[in-house]
Structure 1
Amino acid sequence: MDSRHTTCPSLQGRHILLGITGSIAAYKAAVLCRLLKTAGAEVRVVMTPLAKQFITPLTMATLAKNPILVEFFDPENGAWNSHVSLGEWADCYLIAPATANTLAKMATGVADNLLLTTYLSARCPVVVAPAMDLDMFAHPATQANLATLRSRGVRVVEPEAGELASGLTGKGRLAEPEHIVEAVTRLLVPTAKSLEGRHFLVTAGATIEAIDPVRFISNHSSGKMGYAIAGELAARGARVTLVSGRTALACPEGVERVDVLSAEEMYRAATEAFAACDGAVMCAAVADYTPEQVSATKLRKGDGELVIRLRRTHDIAAELGARKEGRLLVGFALETDDEEAHAEQKLARKHFDFIVLNSLRDAGAGFRGDTNKVTFIDRTGREPLPLLTKREVAGRIVDRIEKLLK
């Protein structure tokens, strides 16, 4: 297995200043610190006073192998913790988790604790990973503060959607430590731009086919696999147009996203974008059928059965396959039975260069999860892969794309 897709590139010798604020997600800072150390970084930790209520300085000192800094000076001996020196020492100042309160103070220049004064003194790149309840994250004040910080060069690792400490479900959960480390690594250890000058189309997510103003037909796709592929292509220097159905995911850094809802909208956006591309990866879960008629008003419950006539949608992949003209085309097949036979038929019918097969019968594969188990199939044979994260699968897919382009 290529280690490039199982561990982050080395942070050997890099100085990471890890800031921890008073969030319930502070417990994840322990895993984050361990991953940074494993990647070879030297880590120093600065905490807000409230952060100590969620994770102990002893835990973080043990993992960082450095004393934890909270106050401006040690009242026992008067030793001064210089925020200026901390900012000069760091190659990257990573604040994770970053609460709404800390983000607001960073945006307005408030400096009432060591973590914030260090931010104002830092000359190095700054990365924040927000964590808060969904309504706090969506609030216009928080979004305005994040926009201000971005305009000043602060990198934001978007929070993820899921179950929150409040019991609600939505966007606001701290990004997984592995994803945060990847963001820091991309910032400090730029990858080779092996696809610079190339332009790719990626489709991702589920389409939505309206029945009436209230109801629709869709599927369980989260878009995670397609977004991972788009991010990997962009990280290697490609220009990426991501045509996306509805999803809760943040757009990968450096990717141009075109939002669509229906299969018809995705067809129009994908065929238009493909004309200027070197290739495409068709990862979206597109509806094969759509209601023949869409009611302008909500359909009412009657005494009898309701019959909805469906018509075929455009086959986007087949249409692009017919227009290939020497360009690269990668497809996906999600199957439940006779998997390889169905995938091979699809490979030939739609003129793919290779197809990525996943079976819903494989544990850990398919929709919504963060892992996938796939088999690459082309006209020369099959290459089954073990269970990997979707980011690792994306790396393997882009590796294969690079080989075909050469």
Structure 2
Amino acid sequence: MSQAGLSVPSPAASVASAINDGHIHVLLAASGSIATIKLPLMISALQRHSNVRIRVILTKTAAKFLAGQSPEQPTVESLAALPNVEGVYQDEDEWVESGVRGAQILHINLRRWAHILVIAPLSANTLAKMVHGMSDNLLLDTVRCWDTTGQIDGKRARIIVAPSMNTAMWLHPLTAQQIRVLEEDWGAGNDAGEQGGAAGPGWFEVLKPIEKRLACNDVGVGAMMEWSEIVKVIEKRLGLS
């Protein structure tokens, strides 16, 4: 690609160039929930750690909540402008290079770059797809190629998810079954690990939703954990003061 006659690296190449930059890397993702509007608050809170760099993945539905529809709804552009954000990625950034051998692949490079992946919010749809191994967008591609053993990238980074959905969705037996997979089959436990490393046998941590009045006016469990509490978990898992 080129811009004003200058060569511009692809998204995947840009990520690759920063893998060994000496910083702590938080890969922050959002799927389709109104709680996506909390992203800038989490990002801004992490600005107090000068060594933290953030890259963001948005699903198509998550991006729909970031169109400046109201004063509380930021824009994708405003996320990208925050000083500790090095990139905001959507599905169209995935395959911008030709599919030839040796070409850079964005979801692989994001996995290599990340010391932790935090999906906040995690929608019911993305939860279901993730548990069943589907990979039909950039976020799910990244989850599906995660180095769950640490034998490929030399680090066992964990994935933290903060579900956000309607109360009836959260109480549905399918949701309970899917959460059991994350906690019991893939679970990492709750102990802090070095740069997001899994402390238990797995690599997943679930931050359970809270009870409140939801955007749809239902009252019950299903709202994403308070953004400030999610930040505290990120800081603890990464060993940040």
Per-residue deviation, 1:106:
1.0
Distance 2:112 2:94 in 1: 21
**Over the residues paired in the alignment, what is the CA RMSD in angstroms?**
2.2
Length, aligned pairs only: 180
Q: Does 1:49 align with 2:60?
A: yes
Partner of 2:199: none
Structure 1: state its 5+ residue gaps.
Answer: 1-11, 192-406
List structure 1 runs of 4+ shifted beyond 4 angstroms. Answer: 74-81
* 1:102 equivalent among 126, 132, 144: 126
Which amino acid letter does the alignment assign opposite residue 178 of structure 2? N
From the superposition, tell whether residues 170 and 39 of structure 1 become closer, same or farther in structure 2 (CA, over 3 Å).
farther
Per-residue deviation, 1:68:
1.1
Partner of 1:68: 88
Per-residue deviation, 1:128:
0.1
Q: Deviations over 1:215-248 (max 9, x none)?
A: xxxxxxxxxxxxxxxxxxxxxxxxxxxxxxxxxx
Partner of 1:303: none
Distance 1:106 1:83 in 2: 15
Q: Deviations over 1:147-206 (max 9, x none)?
A: 101121210111111110110111111111110011122222289xxxxxxxxxxxxxxx
List aligned pairs for 1:216-227, cutoff 5 A: none
Which amino acid letter does the alignment assign opposite residue 120 of structure 1? R
Distance 1:36 1:121 in 2: 26
Distance 2:105 2:168 in 1: 36
Per-residue deviation, 1:71:
1.9
Distance 1:131 1:14 in 2: 26
Distance 1:83 1:69 in 2: 10
Query: Is the 2:36–2:65 Cα contact (8 Å) retained in structure 1?
Result: yes
Q: Does 1:88 align with 2:112?
A: yes
Q: Does 1:120 align with 2:144?
A: yes
* 2:26 equivalent among 1, 16, 27: 16
From the superposition, tell whether residues 49 and 80 of structure 1 become closer, same or farther in structure 2 (CA, over 3 Å).
farther
Partner of 1:34: 44
From the superposition, tell whether residues 190 and 22 of structure 1 become closer, same or farther in structure 2 (CA, over 3 Å).
same
Which amino acid letter does the alignment assign opposite residue 17 of structure 1? L
Which amino acid letter does the alignment assign opposite residue 163 of structure 1? R
Distance 1:17 1:152 in 2: 19
Partner of 2:166: 133
Which amino acid letter does the alignment assign opposite residue 222 of structure 2? G
Query: Is the 1:32–1:177 Cα contact (8 Å) retained in structure 2?
Result: yes
List aligned pairs for 1:287-306, cutoff 5 A: none
List aligned pairs for 1:265-304, cutoff 5 A: none
What secondary structure sits across from 2:221 in the alignment?
strand
What secondary structure sits across from 2:91 in the alignment?
coil
What secondary structure sits across from 1:66 in the alignment?
strand
From the superposition, tell whether residues 148 and 167 of structure 1 become closer, same or farther in structure 2 (CA, over 3 Å).
same
Which amino acid letter does the alignment assign opposite residue 49 of structure 1? K
Q: Does 1:146 align with 2:179?
A: yes
Relative contact order higher in (CA < 8 Å, ≥ 6 apart)? 2
Distance 2:138 2:76 in 1: 15
Partner of 2:237: 187
Per-residue deviation, 1:76:
7.4
- Which protein has the larger Cα radius of gyration, Structure 1 or Structure 2? 1
* 2:225 equivalent among 175, 196, 210: 175
What secondary structure sits across from 1:109 in the alignment?
coil
What secondary structure sits across from 1:112 in the alignment?
coil
Structure 2: state its 5+ residue gaps.
Answer: 1-21, 67-74, 148-156, 188-203
Which amino acid letter does the alignment assign opposite residue 93 of structure 1? L
Q: Deviations over 1:316-361 (max 9, x none)?
A: xxxxxxxxxxxxxxxxxxxxxxxxxxxxxxxxxxxxxxxxxxxxxx
Percent identity reads 33
